[in-house]
Each structure stands twice: as C-alpha cells, then as structure tokens.
Structure 1
Amino acid sequence: MSTVAVLRLPLAVDLSGFVKLLQRMQVPHRVSEEAGEQVLWVPDNISEDVRSLYERFPAGDPEQQIGIPVAQTSKRPGFVEQLRHSKATAVVLLLSLIVGAVTLLGENLETMHWFTFLDFRVVGEYIQFTPLADSLAAGQWWRLFTPMLLHFGFLHLAMNGMWYWELGRRIEARQGSINLIGLTLLYSLVSNYSQFYYSGATLFGGLSGVLYGLLGHCWIFQLLSPNPAYRLPRGVLVMMLIWLVVCMSGLISMIGFGEIANAAHVSGLLIGCFTGLLGGLYNRRKLAV
C-alpha cells in the first residue's frame, strides 16, 4: 500500500505529542525531514482521518481524552486450526510419513525402490541400478520427485518434518497452497538431479534439499519485500547456513552419521534464493504500483 505526505510542518513545530497519539492508536506512520520541513507519512487510505485527527489534537492527547480499547492478546491457534490453514504442508508431511512406514525408514528395499531416483534390484549382496533414461521411458516420471519422501531413520524424518512444517506453513500462508506445492516440486527436482549428477548411482533421499530451497526463498524474498510471514529469526538462518558448511566439510560423515547429500543442499539453497529473488522483486513492484 502506498503512503502519502499528510502533514508538512516547520521544524520548529513539536510533533512529538501527536506522534505518541498515533503510536497509542497503532496507526502506521513515519516522519522525515525534507527541505527544512518535517513530513508525516501515513497510508493513503487513512490520510484524511489522520489530517482530521491533527486538526483536533495537534499537541496529541496528553490527558488521554480519546478512549482507545486495548486489543486483546490473540490466542495462539490450536494444532487442528493450523492444519486447516496449512493443508498443502500437511499433505507433504503425511506422504513422508506414509512412505517412511512402507519403506520401514529405508530398511525395506523391496518397497523403497519404487521411490528412489534410480530404480534398482538387489543381486546377492549388491545393488544393481537401472539407468534413469530407461525408467523415464517406462513412464516412471515420479522418480524425479519422490526421493524427497524417503528418509533413513526416525531422527532424519523428525528433523526434516519439523523444518518443513515451520517453513512450509510460512510460504503457504503468504503465497498459497498451489505455490507451495509448485516450489516444493521444483526444489525437489533440482536438488535430486544435482545430487544424482554429483554422486552418481547411489541411494539418497529426504526433504533437506527442499528445506534449503524454502529457506533461501524466505530469506531473499524478505530482504526485497519485507513481510511478517517470512521474517525468520536471525539465529535460525545462521544455524542452517553453518550446518550446511559443516556438512560440506565432511565432519558429519567422519563421525559416523552417514553420507550427507551436500549437492542437494547447495542446489536447493541456490534455486530457493533465485525464486525468492523473482518473487520478492515482483511483489515489491506490485506494491509500488
């Protein structure tokens, strides 16, 4: 929403009392100094109301003659209500739980091969992979996306699920369910293919590549077009980026936590930053019109 200059007054005029009144009424505003004047800016749709208020109370309301009801503290929505407003986020997590159950979190190879990037069969003690081109020719296009639903262990699923719930709800609330699903599939495709290109024929899976995409999207979008939904605590962003660097160093694999899909993480973050750049620029331009 655009703002307009509702008052232009000499610098000698004391606006502090009126500004305190606006703060008490929770009216969006800002004061700037231009060409030797102090200028009061407010949203265009309330400019006439603010101008009329100044005519009545130029010194503010020190005696608090204006009765302003105290807003009640909003109650935090319950889990069921959050689910109702985060259907797409919940669907992705439910699918992850279902796939985790049928694959026994990576222990059941007979069912897991339906969700891997490359199909495979077990020959003795070895795994024989099917070329991706053969699977795609057979119509198995879902393999480009379904590795995001695979998880190897309860902790892997729990951590990824927790972060997808936190980040996915933000994007769904701000940009809608369809956009969240579209971004999730895009990040999954890019991170899965990047990991395959980097590591070759191996087993990999998890939502972490998608999570770094969501993180990058919120991060850059918020920088370009600030909004409450994407305002992540600085500590969260720093922690996730530090964790990315630590994983790339090989330390996590060295201490016995298994191989980390670093290519999926990095490519997910990069494509997420790119979509955040496009979305942020578009939203900023839309608000400026």
Structure 2
Amino acid sequence: MYRIMLFPHDKDTSELRRALWAHRIGHRFTEEAEGQVLWLANPQQQDALMQLLVRWQRGESIMPERRVRPSSGASLAALRQAPVTATALGISLLVFASMYLLGDIVVAMLTIVPIAVVNGGLAFGSLTEALASGQIWRLLSPAFLHFGWMHLIFNMMWLWYFGRQVESLQGSGRMLLILLLSGIGANLAQYATGTVLFGGMSGVDFALLGYVWLMSRRAPGNGFFVPQMLVVFMLGWMLFTMTDMAAAVGFGNVANEAHLGGLIVGLALGWYYSGRARRQR
C-alpha cells in the first residue's frame, strides 16, 4: 500500500470513501496518532485518485454517473481479458448443466477415480490404474464438479474476482499455473483422506486468495489488492467448516482438505513470486 494523504481525526471522509470504491480505486484508511491516513493499493490509479481528491476538496460531486447497462460487446471484452478464468468458469457451468441433463454418468467421468455400480453398490477404481490407462484428466476434473446452485455460484464468484485480478496484472500464463497446481494439489489432498466423491473449485479459490493476499502484502507495487475483511471471512469460513458446529447447521459435507491443500499451494506460489518481485525492484 502507498501512503497518499493525511486528514485530521475530525474530518468526515465518508463521501470520499464511497466515491473511491464506486470508482473501483483500491484503497484503505487507517487511524494513526496524527490523523486519518489514506493508502492506495495500485500506484497506477494515483492520478485518478488525486483528481477525485481535488474535486472533493472543492466540494464538487465525485460519485460516478449512473452507468448505462453494459453491452454484450463490453461483456465479451471482459471475458477476453481473462481467458483462463473465463474458460474455467465456462467449463464449470457446462459440467453443471450436463449433470442435470445426463445424470450420474457425468459425475463418474470426472471424479478423481472411476466409479461403477456393482451388485447394487458403488465400486471405486484406483487412481494409479486410472492414470496408467491414460485418464490424466481425473487429477484436475473434480474441480469442475459442483453439486448445487449455491456451491456453484459462490465458487464462480470468487474465481472471477481473484482470477481476473491475476490475469490482468500478471497474465494468463500465471493464472493457468495457479489453476493447474492448486486444482491438482487440492484434489490429491482430499483424495489422501480416503474420500472419492468430492468436487468444486473452492480449492482453487483458496489458492487464489492466498496468492493475491501474499502478493499484496509482500510486493504491493504489483497492484494486487484484497480487502482484509474478505481474507478474515474466507479463512474463518474454512476453519468453521472443520468444526462439529458446521455439521450441526447443515455444512458438514465439505471438502476441507481440498480447501487447505489449495490454500497451501497458493501461499507457496505467492511467497515465491512476491519474493522474486521484491528482488527485481
């Protein structure tokens, strides 16, 4: 974060805060001994921030005008700017729709090991045998399985939020690397517990959280930003689902090891690339 300006303790900055968020300028206010300090997340937005500050100090309106509904062209442009994230999102939606149309055959094709019904019960194959027979996709494919609307919506929301940020700042190659390593790492972590029927993009989401958070902390000049309360919420949620209380309120069937495995991969990558960014300064 970059220190921009100091305001007196009694200065009302609420309108400025709302306008900065409305203009999508990542920032933070902190209470210091000498007053309120405004910090900027991305130095490339400094000119836009200073223009708003000047207008605000003059008493002018600084809230953005009501936006016209985005055209389909603008939406397609946003997808083209984050092709890996958009592709992962599209595959997840396609798989979810296929599960409703084709049923369990889709699930059986994408679980980490082959599944079959034998004598009225489920029989599970071996991951080693599956890989030896060429079914390499099973290492990653469970990440695209979602078993309910809420499961799908929340995972896609965080995927789009973090993934688009990674692609816009560091390119599609970095996003693809995070997706592959964290997806496979999360799936193997969950499989190591003896679980076979699991799925979801949440392991990748937690990897992206860890990656973006470490980049914003250790290499703020790269422009990454994540609200601290979002970090607290997501980590708190992960810890909550590991407790018996989660099962008592209907959240017991959660791939906790996949969340943890993805987070560890994201933190490892974030530590490596943020360290490299610091050495290059």
The question of a shared fold, defined as TM-score above 0.5 by the shorter chain, is answered with yes
Cα pair 2:190 2:257 within 8 Å, conserved: yes
96, 104, 108: which is aligned to 2:103?
108
**Which of 247, 266, 274 is the aligned partner of 2:260?**
266
Distance between the aligned counterparts of 1:152 and 1:258, measured in 2?
Answer: 14
Match of 1:94 in 2: 90
1:171 deviation in Å?
0.6
Name the structure 1 match of 2:227. 233
Cα separation, partners in 2 of 1:79 and 1:250, compared to 1, 3 Å: farther
Give 2:17's aligned residue: none
Q: Deviation above 4 Å: which 4+ runs of structure 1?
A: 73-78
Deviation at 1:258, TM superposition (A): 4.4
Q: Is the 8 A contact 1:217 1:275 kept in 2?
A: yes
Alignment check: 8 A CA contact 1:253 1:260 kept: no
After superposition, where does 1:209-224 map in structure 2 within 5 Å? 209-224=203-218
Contact in 1 for aligned 2:84/2:175 (Cα 8 Å): yes
CA distance in 1, matches of 2:208, 2:163: 7
- 1 CA distance for matches of 2:142 and 2:209? 19
Structure 1 letter corresponding to 2:148: G
Which of the residues 273, 285, 288 maps onto 2:279? Answer: 285
Instruction: Name the CA distance, whole Å, in 2 between partners of 1:236 and 1:249.
Output: 20
Structure 1 stretches lacking a partner, 5+ long: 1-70
Q: Is 1:245 the counterpart of 2:245 in the alignment?
A: no
Distance in 1 (CA, whole Å) between partners of 2:225 and 2:90 is 26
Please say if residues 241 and 256 of structure 2, whose CA atoms lie closer than 8 Å, have aligned partners that are also in contact.
yes
Give, in whole Å, the separation in 1 of the partners of 2:144 and 2:225.
27
Q: What corresponds to 1:202 in structure 2?
A: 196
1:113-262 to 2 correspondences below 5 Å: 113-198=108-193, 200-227=194-221, 229-262=223-256
SS at match of 2:123: strand
8 A contact 2:144–2:199 mirrored in 1? yes
| 8 Å contact kept, 1:117–1:192 | yes
**1:34-77 alpha-carbon deviations (Å, 9 max, x no partner):** xxxxxxxxxxxxxxxxxxxxxxxxxxxxxxxxxxxxx9x79898
Q: Give the aligned residue type for 2:180.
A: L
Q: Deviations along 1:230-263, whole A, 9 cap, x unmatched?
A: 2111111110011011011132223223411111
Distance 2:129 2:115 in 1: 12
TM-score with structure 1 setting the length? 0.70
Deviates more, 1:228-237 or 1:87-96: 228-237
Residue correspondence of structure 1 range 8-87 to structure 2 within 5 A: 78-87=74-83
Q: Please state which structure has a larger fraction of its residues in helix.
A: 2
For 1:114 and 1:184, how far apart are their aligned partners in 2? 20
SS at 1:127 equivalent: strand
After the TM superposition, which of the residue ranges 262-271 and 116-125 deviates more from structure 2?
116-125
In 1, Cα distance between the equivalents of 2:223 and 2:164?
9
Determine helix, strand or coil for the equivalent of 1:148: helix
User: Could you report, residue by residue, the CA deviation over 1:158-196 in whole angstroms, capped at 9, with x for unpaired residues?
Assistant: 110011000000111111111101110100111100100
Q: 1:218 to 1:136 in 2, by over 3 A?
A: same
- Aligned residue for 1:230, secondary structure, equals coil
| Count of residues paired in the alignment | 215
Q: CA deviation at 1:275?
A: 0.4
**Distance in structure 1 (CA, Å) of the matches to 2:168 and 2:244:** 36
Contact persistence 1:118–1:201 (CA under 8 A): no
Three-state SS of the structure 2 residue aligned to 1:114 is helix
User: Over aligned residues, Cα RMSD in angstroms?
Assistant: 2.3
Q: Deviations over 1:98-142 (max 9, x none)?
A: 11111229x821221111101110235421000111111100011
Identity %: 36
